[in-house]
């Protein structure tokens, strides 16, 4: 199952990121929550698909997220709670907490595992090798793994790691360039805490999306 690996979404958002950085303006992104936005058709657009879109946008440095159409997904036209209501509420809360850190950062790089737009010559100029990373060791990312790398004013480095697979959870092992003190940003309250004081790798299991 392709799961957007060959989608030109990645080409579009890569160009959007490039232009936003070049112009010095914040990047905004509309994410989709319907099977057929043209006819407001929500049938079974899974929460994991929504999550993958939002986190992928944040990975690319988005400062604003907007739901393209909430009708029949998060809410019904008459105001009743829809099938995605509670998930949307929770995900928005988590993105807001991450935003306490992300809003102050600049996007430095975006890395994908090799299957993203493989063979697409137009995407090749946006494809960054892990050798560009100041944090991760050179090599290739695991299947369906993507990473956004950011920096703050003191040039401390931050990673947003995404499982692009919106059907299955995946475990990723990401070797680091050097031993590092690694902090984790909580999606519950936005606070940072020490995750590993002497890490040589980041090893984690991520839910779908």
Asked if the model's pLDDT at residue 40 lies above 80, the reply is: no
> pLDDT (tens digit, 9 = 90+) per residue, 158-174?
999 999 999 999 999 99
Tell me the two tokens of residue 94.
């988590």
Query: For the residues 27-35, what does the mean pLDDT come to?
Result: 86
What is the DSSP annotation of 90-150?
HHHHHHHHHHHHHTT-EEEEEEE-TTTTTT-HHHHTT---GGG-SSBPSS-PPTTEEEEEE
The confidence score (pLDDT) of residue 68 equals 81
Q: Confidence class of residue 89 from pLDDT cuts 50, 70 and 90?
A: very high
What is the rounded CA–CA span in Å between residue 3 and residue 198? Answer: 35
> pLDDT (tens digit, 9 = 90+) per residue, 128-153?
999 999 999 999 999 999 999 999 99
pTM score: 0.93
Query: For the residues 55-78, what does the mean pLDDT come to?
Result: 91
CA-CA-CA-CA dihedral for 68, 46, 7, 207, to nearest 10: 120
Average pLDDT, the chain: 94
- Among 6, 19, 110, smallest CA distance to 56 is for 110
């Amino acid at each position: 199952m392709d799961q957007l690996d060959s989608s030109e979404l990645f080409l579009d958002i890569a160009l959007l990121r490039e232009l936003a950085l070049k112009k010095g303006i914040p990047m905004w992104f509309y994410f989709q929550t319907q099977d057929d936005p043209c006819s407001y058709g929500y049938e079974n657009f899974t929460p994991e698909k929504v999550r993958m879109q939002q986190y992928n946008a944040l990975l690319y440095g988005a400062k604003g997220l907007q739901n393209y159409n909430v009708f029949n997904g998060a809410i019904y036209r008459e105001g009743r709670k829809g099938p995605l209501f509670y998930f949307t509420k929770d995900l928005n809360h988590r993105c807001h907490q991450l935003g306490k850190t992300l809003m102050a950062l600049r996007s430095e790089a975006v890395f994908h595992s090799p299957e993203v737009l493989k063979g697409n010559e137009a995407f090749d100029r946006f494809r960054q090798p892990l050798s560009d990373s100041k944090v991760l060791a050179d090599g290739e990312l695991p299947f369906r793994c993507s990473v956004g790398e950011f920096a703050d004013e003191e040039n401390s480095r931050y990673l947003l790691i995404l499982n692009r697979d919106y059907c299955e959870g995946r475990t990723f092992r990401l070797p680091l360039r050097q031993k590092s003190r690694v902090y984790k940003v909580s999606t519950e309250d936005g606070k940072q805490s020490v995750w590993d004081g002497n890490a040589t790798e980041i090893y984690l299991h991520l839910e779908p999306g």
